[in-house]
């Protein structure tokens, strides 16, 4: 492709900014990043409090975050944040140690079985499900894998045929049952459901296992995790500062028209002409949102195939509260509340995060989900009240809410559409209409998978 083409990138989150970086590294310098907000970072949002930054969005990474590491190297920064640690509570606020045999004598047989099943799943993933862990979903529903290996930072291109991969379209609980590894869910649920990515009876195994591949899950178990002192937003602010063309903030895109091999973008009342457009912002949002975000199909001259496919996308309602507590009510550490990670406890507090070890003068952030495929959505205010009540039950009552966010989170499709080849159809549309689709839906809703997808998109098409 001609290196001088004019490329418009919609969205200044990890996917959009890293698309800019990888394009630039490949010699494409004529790109423009349009960001609707007055800040970059998207769901990496790290506001200030008493001279430090807390996390309203993304918190952590693992050592296999190769694309995030590319960004760190590009900017000369590193993961220098406070070490993560956590304990567990039951739904009544008692501290528990669910994986410690000595504290759970009656559960020893189950714990031993779980350990065996974890080993078995690890082996199955390397053999029966070979190729499961490439970034993105190309070919999976057809029993193929095609992408770049995530086993090392080199990310070698790999591809192959493996009909067993079709199982990844099953909801994760059914996938586990099929393979006789049901108890592994006890371990996978912590960094999955409590991180807002939905429940195991509704989410295709592909999402669960591409994010929580075996190695990543073991990093969570061993708490071998990365954080950033100035917050995850700092990664993307740094990248933005180092790009030749930093994101243009407060860009309100009113209309996008694609005709005669050109892309016309009306932004803040002016029409701009481009050759190609990369969309990293939401493709489809089924309902009206308080934050004013809308889907691409609502401001683009969306074609019928785009409308048909993107209308299948659902997303999680993941709510974050940042609260202050009185010093005597401050939690000792972060807590996971396993009892609340099931659909029957929809809307309840699943995890709360204490970021700094050295001070109580900090906010605590809480996390809850209020939507499940088969139940009515819990209204935002009801959920907020439930979470504040739960903090009292946990013996860490809030004295004040200082920030709150109901996030457009983890766009995904359900098993039926996954199995029917949703990803193959969207991948086949890449470049048609001079448009490329990137961001969370194309891989998974975390910093690295989205940045990595942008890397691969640039590698594949530019
Ligand atoms: C509470 C929470 C906890 C998380 N924890 C982690 C974690 O620990 N580790 C991890 O790796 N990930 C975590 N994530 C997920 C991670 O933040 C996201 O997956 C990642 O930010 C996705 O990047 P993205 O660029 O695809 O999308 P986003 O970050 O959503 O960025 C999209 C950007 O597009 C902009 N935009 C939207 N519409 C338009 C428009 N019409 N025009 C122009 N711009 C537009 C948005 O304002 C935004 O800046 C967490 C997220 C949240 C909310």
- Secondary structure in 3-state letters for 259-296: ECCEEEEEECCEEEEECEEEECCCCCCCCCCCCCCCCH
Q: Is 162 in the pocket of ligand 1 (CB under 6 A)?
A: no
Q: Is 384 in the pocket of ligand 1 (CB under 6 A)?
A: no
| Cβ–Cβ < 8 Å for 31, 245 | yes
Is residue 53 a part of any domain in this protein?
Answer: no
The tokens of 253 are what? Answer: 């895109």
Is residue 31 a part of any domain in this protein?
Answer: yes
Q: How many domains is the chain partitioned into structurally?
A: 2
In angstroms, what is the span from residue 260 Cα to ligand 1's centroid? Answer: 32
Are residues 171 and 264 located together in one domain of the fold?
no
Is residue 357 a part of any domain in this protein?
Answer: no
pLDDT tens string 87-125: 999 999 999 999 999 999 999 999 999 999 999 999 999
CA 393 distance to own-chain centroid: 29
Atom of ligand 1 nearest to the CA of 409: 53
| pTM, full prediction | 0.97
Are residues 236 and 115 located together in one domain of the fold?
no
Atom of ligand 1 nearest to the CA of 447: 11
Q: Which of 60, 224, 406, 447 to mutate to test the pocket of ligand 1 (most atoms within 8 A of CB)?
A: 447
Domain that holds residue 427: 7-43+228-313+413-461
Are residues 216 and 256 located together in one domain of the fold?
no
In angstroms, what is the span from residue 95 Cα to ligand 1's centroid? Answer: 33
Reading across the β-sheet that carries 351-354, which strands appear in turn? Answer: 95-96, 86-89, 334-337, 351-354, 364-369, 314-324, 400-412
The CB-side HSE value for 31 (13 A sphere, CA atoms) comes to 32
Return the pLDDT at 375. 83
Q: Is 111 in the pocket of ligand 1 (CB under 6 A)?
A: no
Are residues 162 and 290 located together in one domain of the fold?
no
Which regions of the chain are under pLDDT 50? none
Q: Which of 81, 281, 443 to mutate to test the pocket of ligand 1 (most atoms within 8 A of CB)?
A: 281
In angstroms, what is the span from residue 333 Cα to ligand 1's centroid? Answer: 26
The tokens of 410 are what? Answer: 């983890």
Q: Which of these three, 172, 200, 221, is where a domain ends?
A: 221
Is residue 255 a part of any domain in this protein?
Answer: yes
Q: Which of these three, 174, 189, 221, is where a domain ends?
A: 221
Are residues 213 and 233 located together in one domain of the fold?
no
Q: Is 369 in the pocket of ligand 1 (CB under 6 A)?
A: no
What gap in Å lies between CA 272 and CA 350, rounded to an integer? Answer: 45
Q: Is 281 in the pocket of ligand 1 (CB under 6 A)?
A: yes
Q: Which of these three, 172, 199, 221, is where a domain ends?
A: 221
In angstroms, what is the span from residue 413 Cα to ligand 1's centroid? Answer: 18
Which of 69, 462, 34, 459 minimizes the C-alpha distance to 246?
A: 34
Atom of ligand 1 nearest to the CA of 448: 11
| Domain of residue 217, CATH code | 1.10.405.20
| Domain of residue 426, CATH code | 3.50.50.60
pLDDT tens string 207-237: 999 999 999 999 999 999 999 999 999 999 9
Residue 416 buriedness (CB in 10 A; 0-12 / 13-18 / 19+): exposed
Q: Is 44 in the pocket of ligand 1 (CB under 6 A)?
A: yes
Q: Which of 8, 9, 10, 11 to mutate to test the pocket of ligand 1 (most atoms within 8 A of CB)?
A: 11
Is residue 110 a part of any domain in this protein?
Answer: yes
| Cβ–Cβ < 8 Å for 306, 297 | yes
Residue closest by Cα to atom 48 of ligand 1: 42
In angstroms, what is the span from residue 128 Cα to ligand 1's centroid? Answer: 33
Return the pLDDT at 287. 83
Are residues 130 and 217 located together in one domain of the fold?
yes
Are residues 207 and 242 located together in one domain of the fold?
no
Are residues 121 and 192 located together in one domain of the fold?
yes
Q: What is the 3-state secondary structure (H, E, C) of 385-422?
A: HHHHHHHHHCCCCCCEEEEEEEEEEEEECCHHHHHCCH
Q: Is 439 in the pocket of ligand 1 (CB under 6 A)?
A: yes
The tokens of 294 are what? Answer: 């809308």
What gap in Å lies between CA 62 and CA 232, rounded to an integer? Answer: 13
Residue 181 buriedness (CB in 10 A; 0-12 / 13-18 / 19+): buried
Q: Is 295 in the pocket of ligand 1 (CB under 6 A)?
A: no
In angstroms, what is the span from residue 458 Cα to ligand 1's centroid? Answer: 19
What gap in Å lies between CA 152 and CA 133, rounded to an integer? Answer: 12
Is residue 62 a part of any domain in this protein?
Answer: no
H helices of 127-204, where?
Answer: 172-178, 185-192
What gap in Å lies between CA 277 and CA 435, rounded to an integer? Answer: 5
* Three-state DSSP class for residue 338: helix
Return the pLDDT at 66. 97
Is residue 293 a part of any domain in this protein?
Answer: yes
Atom of ligand 1 nearest to the CA of 299: 41
Return the pLDDT at 291. 87
Are residues 210 and 154 located together in one domain of the fold?
yes
Q: Is 293 in the pocket of ligand 1 (CB under 6 A)?
A: yes
Which of 113, 125, 280, 88 minimizes the C-alpha distance to 208?
A: 125
In angstroms, what is the span from residue 148 Cα to ligand 1's centroid? Answer: 23
Cα 157 to Cα 151, 160, 357, distances in angstroms: 11, 11, 42
Is residue 133 a part of any domain in this protein?
Answer: yes
Are residues 303 and 266 located together in one domain of the fold?
yes
How many residues in the chain? 462
Are residues 34 and 148 located together in one domain of the fold?
no
Are residues 34 and 169 located together in one domain of the fold?
no
What gap in Å lies between CA 418 and CA 453, rounded to an integer? Answer: 18
Return the pLDDT at 389. 98
């Amino acid at each position: 492709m001609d290196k001088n083409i004019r490329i418009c990138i919609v969205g200044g989150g990890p996917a959009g900014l890293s698309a800019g970086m990888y394009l630039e590294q490949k010699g494409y310098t004529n790109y423009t990043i349009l960001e609707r907000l007055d800040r970059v970072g998207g769901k990496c949002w790290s506001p200030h409090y008493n001279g430090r930054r807390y996390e309203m969005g993304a918190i952590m990474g693992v050592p296999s975050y190769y694309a995030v590491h590319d960004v760190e190297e590009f900017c000369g920064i590193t993961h220098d944040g406070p070490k993560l640690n956590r304990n567990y509570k039951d739904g009544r606020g008692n501290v528990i140690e669910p994986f410690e045999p000595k504290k759970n004598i009656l559960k020893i047989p189950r714990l031993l079985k779980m350990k065996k099943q974890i080993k078995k799943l690890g082996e199955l993933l390397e053999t029966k499900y070979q190729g499961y862990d490439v970034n993105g979903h190309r070919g999976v529903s057809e029993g193929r894998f095609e992408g770049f290996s995530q086993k090392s930072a080199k990310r070698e291109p790999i591809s192959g045929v493996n009909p067993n991969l079709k199982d990844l379209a099953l909801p994760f609980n059914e996938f586990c049952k099929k393979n006789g590894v049901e108890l592994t869910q006890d371990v996978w649920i912590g960094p999955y459901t409590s991180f807002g990515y939905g429940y195991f009876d509704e989410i295709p195994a592909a999402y669960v296992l591409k994010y929580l591949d075996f190695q990543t899950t073991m990093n969570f178990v061993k708490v071998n995790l990365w954080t950033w002192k100035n917050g995850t937003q700092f990664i993307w602010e740094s990248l933005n500062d180092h790009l030749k063309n930093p994101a243009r903030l407060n860009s309100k895109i009113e209309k996008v028209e694609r005709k005669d091999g050109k892309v016309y973008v009306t932004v803040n009342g002016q029409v701009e002409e481009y050759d190609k457009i990369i969309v990293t912002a939401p493709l489809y949002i089924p309902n009206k949102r308080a934050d004013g975000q809308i889907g691409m199909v609502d401001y683009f001259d969306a074609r019928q195939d785009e409308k048909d496919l993107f209308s299948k996308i659902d997303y999680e309602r993941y709510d974050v509260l940042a609260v202050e507590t009185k010093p005597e009510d401050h939690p000792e550490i972060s807590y996971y509340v396993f009892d609340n990670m099931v659909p029957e406890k929809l809307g309840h507090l699943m995890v709360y995060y204490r970021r700094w070890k050295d001070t109580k003068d900090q906010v605590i952030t809480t996390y809850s989900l209020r939507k499940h495929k088969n139940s009515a959505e819990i209204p935002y205010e009801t959920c907020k009240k439930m979470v504040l009540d739960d903090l009292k039950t946990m013996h860490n009552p809030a004295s004040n809410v200082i920030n709150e966010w109901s996030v457009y989170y983890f766009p995904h499709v359900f098993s039926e559409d996954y199995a029917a080849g949703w990803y193959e159809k969207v991948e086949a549309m890449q470049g048609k209409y001079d448009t490329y689709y990137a961001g969370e839906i194309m891989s998974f809703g975390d910093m690295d998978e989205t940045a990595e997808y942008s890397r691969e998109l640039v590698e594949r098409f530019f």
